[in-house]
Structure 1
Amino acid sequence: MKKGIAESEYEAVVQTASAKSFVYQPPAIAHHAKRILVKPNLGYPIAPPVTVSMSVLGSVLAALRQASPQAEILIVEGVCSPVSLSDIARKNGLYPLLDSGMQLLDADLLSIVEYPNLSPAPVRFQTMWAPALLQEVDCRITVGTFKRTVLKDQSLISASLKNLYGLFPRAKYKARSANSRGQLHRPSVPQILQDVYFCIGHLFDGAVVDADRRLISPDWKPDKGAAIEFGKVFFGDDLVAVDRAACQTAKEPIPDYLDAIDQHRNQP
């Protein structure tokens, strides 16, 4: 099995860097890869920390290009806003970072397939629909931000794993709002994140959490809140370990969903 499932056989290493001097070190699989998928947090036409900073994303893209000079690098995002992905990318300053071998793709427009839930105890979804492209690339990197929101009177930490919500098609997972993925909030986001990990999260080869500034929201809205200077970037090969390290350093309680995922993936 892939490292994300057989975690007991894999020693996760997480690196912490100053945001001002962050130089990304890609996973070994990125070197000489032919196709690389990067999933940045760019769901809103709003500056960091609501979305990932261009300095952090730029460092990731530059390092991937250095690791694999000929690779096709696909930046894939599904927005949470009525504003189009191309307009968000333009407003947030993404296009100057792209070379001729890099392409921005809207996840909502991609062909989708069902991914089986490899958890020994699925929460809600036995399978989940996501872009087929995830299984057509050699390397996958998630670049999230560090946010704390409040859902149902409980804190929710969003980082590299929660960032993957943008890969699920809104047409299939929408609820009351066509701009969001309300089906993925039932029975709760922390529970559904377990299904997300065991359907597609385990496929990812690298994770980056941009915590130069942390977003602290007074409610459930991940696009509004106070920006807290923190000045750090966390990265490594394992999403759960990276998110855990970010929480520990920020002195945030470890989310229950991270512990649940670790428990399930450590089962024989």
Structure 2
Amino acid sequence: MSKTAQTLVQVVATSDFIYQPPVTAINCKRILVKPNLGYPVAAPVTVSMQVLGAVLQGLRKASPDAEILVVEGVCSDVSLADIASRLGVYSLLDSGMQLLDADELPLKEYPNLSPSPVRFKSMFAPLILEEVDCRISVGAFKRTVLKTPLISASLKNLYGLFPRARYKARSQKSRGQLHRPSVPQVLQDVYFTIGHLFDGGVVDGNLKFISKDWQPDKGQAVELGKVFYGDDILAVDRIACEVGGETVPEYVETLTKMVQFTTALQLGDG
């Protein structure tokens, strides 16, 4: 789980974006890509095909023979296959790539490695996260309001990997259990169960999506024209907020300090 003290985050114009994957993506056998494709609505509600396509091309160049799995769990009545068809995802996939619905995959109970779990001592997510050599989160850049402003980027994007059947509340199509006591707090559990496994994050900031309320698929687009990417999803989310005119979420600050603390302990033990 340790991260380097100085983590480089690339900020590039969308028109110049050529994805440079982490070293773990080079000449590996299996890669998992988790894009934000939860709704049947184009960017910026979901990640753009331009950015997702560039990520897939960069991964294919790094690993010509790898099996690349695009994994998402939707937040809609519309199926993942239908969303992918509407948005044009299939046109991006070569013969060694496939789209998988996270809600249909075998699960594993992942332990929460946090020194102080918020709510979940463990969380269920697809077993395949442990069966790949590299994992990349490709998030849209969004601000909604759920009691307080909430930023969705590469970490919040991982919500789609948790099975709705287990984490639903009143709505069958969402993961309401992951909203209690609050999303920023639960994101700490998300990071320390599966977030720390991710080798890199990409945030599509070509357009920033802003909602007046909690609805993550209804709002307005603000042009930024940027893509943010790097090996540390927390650092990527931080820079996206700083460059994109958003306050860095408190949970990013909290998690960064917790990771630094646990890393120091590990080094001390060593």
Q: Shorter-chain-normalised TM-score: which range?
A: over 0.9
Q: Secondary structure at the residue paired with 1:100?
A: coil
2:219 pairs with 1:256: no
Matches of 1:33 and 1:89 in 2, distance apart? Answer: 26
Q: Deviation at 1:250?
A: 1.4
Which residue of structure 2 aligns with residue 204 of structure 1?
A: 198
Q: Give the TM-score taking structure 1 as reference length.
A: 0.97
Residue in structure 2 matching 1:234, options 205, 228, 240: 228
- Percent identity over the alignment is 66
Q: How many residues align?
A: 262
Q: Which of 51, 55, 62 matches 2:46?
A: 51
Cα distance in 2 for residues equivalent to 1:12 and 1:125: 28
Q: Tell me if 1:144 matches 2:106.
A: no
Residue 187 of structure 2 corresponds to which residue in structure 1?
193
CA positional deviation for 1:236: 0.1
In structure 1, what is the equivalent of residue 241 of structure 2?
Answer: 247
The aligned residue for residue 78 of structure 2 is 83
Match of 1:223 among 217, 220, 223: 217
Please give the alpha-carbon distance, in whole angstroms, between the structure 2 residues aligned to 1:81 and 1:250: 27
Residue identity matched to 2:137:
T
The whole-number CA distance in structure 1 between the counterparts of 2:18 and 2:239 is 18
Instruction: Please state whether the residue corresponding to 1:266 is helix, strand or coil.
Output: helix
Alpha-carbon RMSD: 0.7
1:20 paired with 2:15, answer yes
Unaligned runs of 5+ in 2: 266-270
Query: 2:88 pairs with 68, 78, 93, which one?
Result: 93
1:44-77 deviation digits (Å, cap 9, x = unpaired): 0001000000000000000100100000000000
Is residue 265 of structure 1 aligned with residue 265 of structure 2?
no
Segments of 4+ moved more than 4 angstroms = none
Is the aligned partner of 1:135 residue 2:134?
Answer: no
Matches of 1:256 and 1:248 in 2, distance apart? 13
In the alignment, which residue of structure 1 is the partner of 2:67? Answer: 72
Q: Distance in 2 between matches of 1:35 and 1:262?
A: 28
Q: TM-score, normalised by structure 2?
A: 0.96
Determine if contact 1:117/1:195 at 8 Å carries over to the other structure.
yes
Please report how far the alpha carbon of residue 21 of structure 1 lies from its aligned counterpart in structure 2 after TM superposition: 1.6
* Distance in 1 (alpha carbons) for counterparts of 2:254 and 2:118: 11
- 1:163 corresponds to which of 157, 162, 181: 157
Aligned residue type for 1:78: G
1:62 to 2:62 alignment: no
Taking the aligned partners of 1:202 and 1:10, their CA distance within structure 2 comes to: 15
Question: Secondary structure of the equivalent of 1:37?
Answer: strand
* Amino acid of the structure 1 residue aligned with 2:184: P
Q: CA deviation at 1:10?
A: 4.1
CA contact (8 A) 1:108 1:170 kept: yes
Residue 60 of structure 1: SS of its match in structure 2? helix
Distance 1:177 1:53 in 2: 27
The alignment status of 1:174 with 2:189, answered yes or no, reads no
* Distance in 1 of aligned mates of 2:111 and 2:86: 36
